[in-house]
Chains A and B, each alone.
Chain A
Amino acid sequence: DSGVTQTPKHLITATGQRVTLRCSPRSGDLSVYWYQQSLDQGLQFLIQYYNGEERAKGNILERFSAQQFPDLHSELNLSSLELGDSALYFCASSALLSSGPHEQYFGPGTRLTVT
C-alpha cells in the first residue's frame, strides 16, 4: 500500500459526459501528479500540482482540468468524454519539491470506461 488513495476504482460513463476523479496523496506529500495509461499511448504525464498550484503540464487535453485543494487532495475533471478517453488514470504523490529527484508513489488508479 503506497498511501495514495484514489476514488472511484472503476467508472463507466457515456460519451459527452463529465466525470471527476479524486486523489488523496500520502500524508505529508505536497506534490500530486496525474498520469494516463492507455493501450495506444502508454503511460503519459498529464499535470502536476504543488501545494495547491499548478506546477507543470504534460499531454493534457483542454477538455481535462485538475485542481489541488487546501487539504492537498486533488481532483481530475474530464469533460465531453470520448471513447478514446477510456484509460487507467493514476495519481502519484511526492514530498517537498526541491531541485533534487523525487520518488513518486502511485495510487491504485481509476479505470474509466467510456461507452
Chain B
Amino acid sequence: AQSVTQPDIHITVSEGASLELRCNYSYGATPYLFWYVQSPGQGLQLLLKYFSGDTLVQGIKGFEAEFKRSQSSFNLRKPSVHWSDAAEYFCAVEGGTASKLTFGTGTRLQVTL
C-alpha cells in the first residue's frame, strides 16, 4: 500500500527567505504525486503535480517541486516566501486500483515578517 511521509510538522521561515518542504513516498509502481495547500478554514487547493517526464515541475503561486526517484522524494520549494503563503501543505500520492489520494500528515508553515 502506498504511504506518504512529511517529516516536518511545523516550519517557520522569514518573509523573503527560501522554503523547502520535504515529502517522501512509498509506492511500488510509478507514482503520481501532488502538493496541496490548505489555508485556515479553506479547502485544499492543488499547487502542482508530477505524472511523468521532467522531474522538476512548476506550479501555481511560484512553487516548484522536484521528483527524485532514487530518494523516493518530492520536495516542494519556493525561492522567496510571502506572508500569504502561511498555510498547511499536504503531499499526496495517487495509486492502486482506485484513484484515491493518500496524504501525508501535513506541514504547517508559519511566515514571520
Contact = CB atoms under 8 A, between A and B. Distances in A.
B105 A42 contact: yes
By secondary structure, the B interface counts as: strand
A94 B90 CA distance: 18
B99 A94 contact: yes
Contacts of A55: 98
Interface string B36-74: 100000111110010100000000000000000000000
Interface residues of B, number: 22
Given A101-B51, A101-B99, A104-B99, 13 more contacts: A2-B43, A33-B100, A42-B105, A43-B101, A44-B103, A45-B101, A45-B102, A100-B51, A101-B49, A106-B43, A106-B44, A106-B46, A108-B43
Interface of B: 32, 34, 36, 42-46, 49, 51, 90, 94, 97-106
26 contacts: A2-B43, A2-B45, A4-B43, A33-B100, A33-B101, A35-B101, A42-B105, A43-B90, A43-B106, A44-B103, A45-B102, A55-B98, A56-B98, A56-B100, A90-B43, A101-B32, A101-B51, A101-B94, A102-B94, A103-B46, A103-B49, A104-B46, A104-B101, A105-B46, A106-B43, A107-B43
